[in-house]
Structure 1
Amino acid sequence: MVGSKDLEPSHTKFFPNVFFNNQFRAKPDWPAPGTTLSGKTAIITGGNTGLGYETAVQLLELRISMLVLAVRSPEKGEAAADTLRKQHPGSTIQVWLLDMDSYDSITGFVQRVERSLSRIDMVLLNAGTMKISFTKNKSTGYETMFQVNYLSTMLLTILLLPILKAKGAANDPPPHLTIVNAALSLVAAFPGRSESPLFSYFKDSKHWSREEHYNTSKLLAHAFLWNLTDYVSADDVIVNLADPAWVKGTALARETQGAMKIGLKIFELTGRTPRVGASCFVDAMVNKGKESHGCFLMSWKIHPFAALLYTPEGRSLTKRVWEETLAELEFAGVGAALDGMRV
């Protein structure tokens, strides 16, 4: 099976060309007429707003039977769920607490998933953050975007994998786990890639760069997925990354102020609508099959990973990212979880 790491790296050196094609030339790949998700169960993190909410709308339009919105604010989650319940009374919609800035919240959420759901067909890990200033996770000491967008997301991914394998329906396609990513991963420079240990870079405020920390948090997911497919078979769980491109009307950059806020508002005029942006996630979970396992999806197609990873330095980097990630998260038994996926 050919995945993103088996493709030739992208030779498009001028990122605005990538942006232009992604925003204006690529065409959505909608589910085929008559597609139904009746009887299926989905989980969406960050499902009460933005692209998570729009993805929930589209899955409900496909008549999904059970939907779990995993949110940091139960009050806001219930408000969103109430609206969705009125529009789709035939589906069951539940709101569960999940704070991606807390390892305890993540492990508690996983325990609830294992205890409460009899089947799981698709998971969208959409919850993420973009910060405009350097902030740290109080427990780990890591910069917040690195913590939430990468470490916490990989912890949730690994812990969910054995549950998805066990709770997939026998006669249906394998469960899908889709992680939200970004085309900006392709231009991440990761100035700290020579640090040792690698992740120490994300604890020091002197390295702070809003753009680079965000882009690198997405690049690291490419590096992790490069190795994950050695442990996880597409016959058990299909894992992919999906880029929605630049989308107008989301709350991702809600912390921006002043000139930056004005600039983003103007730039939003070039953005996709939330419906088109979220269709990338629906495509990754509903349309795409085993061929998308271990892949980065951009513009509804399988795309190479960031070009850096195909170089000798990049191959070494993927190994270091993998090893340090597992060491950082071993408190939760991630090594045993991954070894169990090989059985």
Structure 2
Amino acid sequence: MVGSKDLEPSTTPFFPNIFLHNQFRAKPVWPSPSTDLSGKVAIITGGNAGLGLEAGSQLLALKLSHLILAVRSAQNGEAAAKQLLSQHPNARIDVWSLDMSSNNSIQAFARRVESDLNRLDMVILNAGLRKLVFDTNRTTPHEETIQINYLATAFLTILLLPALKSKSPPGCAGRLTIVNAALSLAAKFPNKNEVPLLPSFDDPKYFDAIDRYNSSKVLSHMFLWKLVDYVSADDVIINLPDPGFVKGTDLTRDAKGWQKVAAELFGAITGRTKVVGASTYLDALLNKGPESHGCFLMSWEVHPFASFLYTPEGNKSIEQLWQETLSEYEFAGVRSVLESMKEV
């Protein structure tokens, strides 16, 4: 199998070549209409709006039996569940509390998955944000974009791995899809060689309103590069799909004034619909098999990671980030969790 690691790094300019191909020329790959998810259980973080909500609707249309919306606001989650139930009255839809800004909330959520679910087939880690100003997370010392898009997502990923391995049916690998972005390929990542690496993101001098989101997605490439050393595709298949630039989502909710107008105009001209954007999630979960394990998926195909990762400097930064990430969550025993995933 040829994965993202095995491909040659792309030298194609992101703008306009990759962007134009991804947005306008690539064709959606839909699950077979005969796909039947009866009996299966799925979790979607940030599933109360935007692409998360649309992905939930598409899974339910394929007869998913049990959907868990993992959301920060119970009120918004219940409203989303009511909307979905009106379309799919035979499904079971639960709303569970999950605040990606809080390590305690992430741990409590993972414990609930372990204790309350007898089965778990698939997880979509969709929650994310794009901050246009430097802002520190309220419960950690880290800049908010890095905290939510990378650190919290990596933490939850590790904690959910044992449940996905043990609660999926025998012979069927659990599926973990972590939403990424084509913009990872355009990241400048100016602090890539800093040691230590993670604290450098907390320095405002390295904050760029455009690049910070892009760089946060590169960190997920780097994390997955190492994670697959611990997780077999026979147990859990993990991949990073890019939904493309999608109009009508809350990703740019912090934009104001001319930035908001520009974002809405750009979306109207170039944006995919949420239906098409969410199809990339289902493609990653249902169409792609073990060949997608540890891969970045763009334009509904396996694609190389950000080119920096293939360099000697990139390999050094990958190892640096990996060790710092595990140290960040040492209190939760993440190293032991990862070692347990190697056990037969």
Matches of residues 126-137 of structure 1 in structure 2 within 5 Å? 126-137=126-137
- Cα pair 2:247 2:273 within 8 Å, conserved: yes
Partner of 1:29: 29
Q: SS of the counterpart of 1:141?
A: coil
Partner of 1:223: 222
Q: What amino acid is the match of 1:143?
A: E
Q: Distance in 2 between matches of 1:168 and 1:95?
A: 21
Partner of 1:189: 188
Partner of 2:161: 161
Q: What amino acid is the match of 2:248?
A: G
Q: Indicate whether 1:258 and 2:270 are aligned.
A: no
Partner of 2:98: 98
State the TM-score, normalizing by the size of structure 2.
0.98
Partner of 2:213: 214
Q: Cα deviations across residues 51-78 of structure 1 (Å, max 9, x unaligned)?
A: 0000000000000000000000000000
Q: SS of the counterpart of 1:30?
A: coil
Q: Distance in 1 between matches of 2:49 and 2:134?
A: 24
Q: Cα deviations across residues 189-221 of structure 1 (Å, max 9, x unaligned)?
A: 211112221111121222221112111110000
Q: Distance in 2 between matches of 1:149 and 1:223?
A: 13
Q: SS of the counterpart of 1:124?
A: strand
Matches of residues 107-186 of structure 1 in structure 2 within 5 Å? 107-171=107-171, 173-186=172-185
Q: Cα deviations across residues 3-27 of structure 1 (Å, max 9, x unaligned)?
A: 2111111120343210000000000
- Cα pair 2:43 2:67 within 8 Å, conserved: yes
Partner of 1:314: 314
- Cα pair 2:193 2:317 within 8 Å, conserved: no
Q: What amino acid is the match of 1:49?
A: A
Matches of residues 196-207 of structure 1 in structure 2 within 5 Å? 196-207=195-206
- Which 4+ runs in 1 deviate beyond 2 A? none
CA shift for structure 1 position 139: 2.5
Greater displacement, 133-142 / 150-159: 133-142
Q: Indicate whether 1:327 and 2:327 are aligned.
A: yes
Partner of 1:232: 231
Q: Indicate whether 1:19 and 2:8 are aligned.
A: no
- Cα pair 2:14 2:186 within 8 Å, conserved: no
Partner of 1:85: 85
Q: Distance in 2 between matches of 1:33 and 1:164?
A: 25
CA shift for structure 1 position 138: 2.5
- Cα distance change of structure 1 residues 116 and 241 upon mapping to structure 2, 3 Å threshold: same
Partner of 1:243: 242
Q: Cα deviations across residues 82-128 of structure 1 (Å, max 9, x unaligned)?
A: 11112111110000000001000000000001111111111000000
Q: Distance in 1 between matches of 2:334 and 2:234?
A: 20
Q: SS of the counterpart of 2:329?
A: helix
Q: What amino acid is the match of 2:30?
A: W
Q: What amino acid is the match of 1:122?
A: M
Q: Distance in 2 between matches of 1:11 and 1:192?
A: 21
* % identity of equivalent residues: 58
CA shift for structure 1 position 140: 1.8
CA shift for structure 1 position 154: 0.1
Greater displacement, 144-153 / 1-10: 1-10
**How many pairs were matched up?**
342
Q: Distance in 1 between matches of 2:217 and 2:43?
A: 21
Q: 5+ unaligned residues in a row in structure 1: which ranges?
A: none
Q: Distance in 1 between matches of 2:104 and 2:48?
A: 21
Q: Distance in 1 between matches of 2:39 and 2:289?
A: 19
Q: What amino acid is the match of 1:319?
A: E
- Cα pair 2:101 2:139 within 8 Å, conserved: no
- Cα pair 2:233 2:293 within 8 Å, conserved: yes
Q: What amino acid is the match of 2:323?
A: E
Greater displacement, 199-208 / 253-262: 199-208
- Cα pair 2:101 2:138 within 8 Å, conserved: no
Q: SS of the counterpart of 1:210?
A: coil
Q: Distance in 2 between matches of 1:184 and 1:53?
A: 22
Q: 5+ unaligned residues in a row in structure 2: which ranges?
A: none
CA shift for structure 1 position 332: 1.0
Q: Distance in 1 between matches of 2:24 and 2:66?
A: 34
TM-align CA RMSD: 0.9
Q: Distance in 2 between matches of 1:331 and 1:208?
A: 28
Q: SS of the counterpart of 1:127?
A: coil
CA shift for structure 1 position 163: 1.1
Q: Distance in 1 between matches of 2:288 and 2:75?
A: 34
- Cα pair 2:45 2:127 within 8 Å, conserved: yes
Q: Distance in 2 between matches of 1:217 and 1:121?
A: 27
Q: Indicate whether 1:2 and 2:2 are aligned.
A: yes
